[in-house]
Structure 1
Amino acid sequence: MFQGEFSNNMDEKGRVSIPAAFRDVLKSCHAEGDIIITRTPHYRCLVAYPIREWKRLQKRISTTQPSKELRAYKHIVFSSAQEFLPDRQGRVLLSPALRDYASLVRNAQFVGDGETFQIWDKEAWSKQLEASLELAQDFELGL
């Protein structure tokens, strides 16, 4: 499971290192090691899916009743999806389109999200975290 927050700098070519903790999860829980990185319509960030989770998402989409909303979702997610195998230093080279969508320039914030992880611009993540804290104040999990 991907959990925690990590900050890494992106170089001028768009290469950024996947945090070691996330690479460990990929090795131990997802033998392939490949990930799909794509846009999400929910936030201005990127989502990284291990191949198994990507296939699970594709299956859910294929069994969902067609609609305009589903078509729009597919346009956003599938059109930007790129497969990556991190290099020996754990780096991936994010395309300009992905970087532009998430406003990634220098500081990338990696955020664990359970079976996936997100890649945010560091300042955008700080703002989103504040908004999430307000929304979650009255939320009870009911355990």
Structure 2
Amino acid sequence: MFQGEFSNNMDDKGRVSIPAAFRDALKSCHAEESIIITRTPHSRCLVAYPIREWKRLQTRINATPSSEALRAYKRIVISSAQEFSPDRQGRVLLSAALREYASLDRAVQFAGAGETFEIWDKGSWDRQLEADLALAQNFELGL
């Protein structure tokens, strides 16, 4: 499970280090090191999927009846998906298209989201977190 928030700097080539805690979760919970990083239609950030979770998403997509909304989702998510294996320093080289979509420049924020994790521009993350605070105040889990 991916949890926690981590900040890293991206270099001029577009390389950023995946947080050690997330790399450890990939190895211990998912028994793999490769991840799929793609766009999401829900926010201007990237989402990283362990291969097993990516396959689950593909299965759900394939089981969904065809529609214009599904085609739009595929164009956003499937078309931008790229597989990455972190190098010895834990870095991945994000494509210009992925960096542009999420407005990634230098300061990058990683946010655990359970079975996936998100990659944000730090300023965008701070603004999103403020907006989420207002929404979360009205949310009850019913525990």
TM-score by length of 2: 0.99
CA displacement 1:1-36 (0-9 Å, x = unmatched):
100000000000000000000010001011121000
Structure 1 residue aligned with 2:101: 101
- Whichever residue aligns with residue 60 of structure 1, its letter is R
- Runs ≥4 residues deviating over 3 A: none
Structure 2 residue aligned with 1:84: 84
Structure 2 residue aligned with 1:140: 140
How far is 1:66 from its partner? Answer: 1.0
2:114 corresponds to 1:114: yes
- For structure 1, the 5+ residue unaligned runs are none
2:40 corresponds to 1:44: no
Please give the secondary structure, in 1, of the residue aligned with 2:79.
helix
- For structure 2, the 5+ residue unaligned runs are none
CA displacement 1:15-73 (0-9 Å, x = unmatched):
00000000100010111210000000000000000000000000000001111001100
Q: Provide the aligned length of Structure 1 versus Structure 2.
A: 143
The 5-angstrom pairing of residues 19-38 of structure 1 reads 19-38=19-38
Please give the secondary structure, in 2, of the residue aligned with 1:129.
helix
- Whichever residue aligns with residue 27 of structure 1, its letter is K
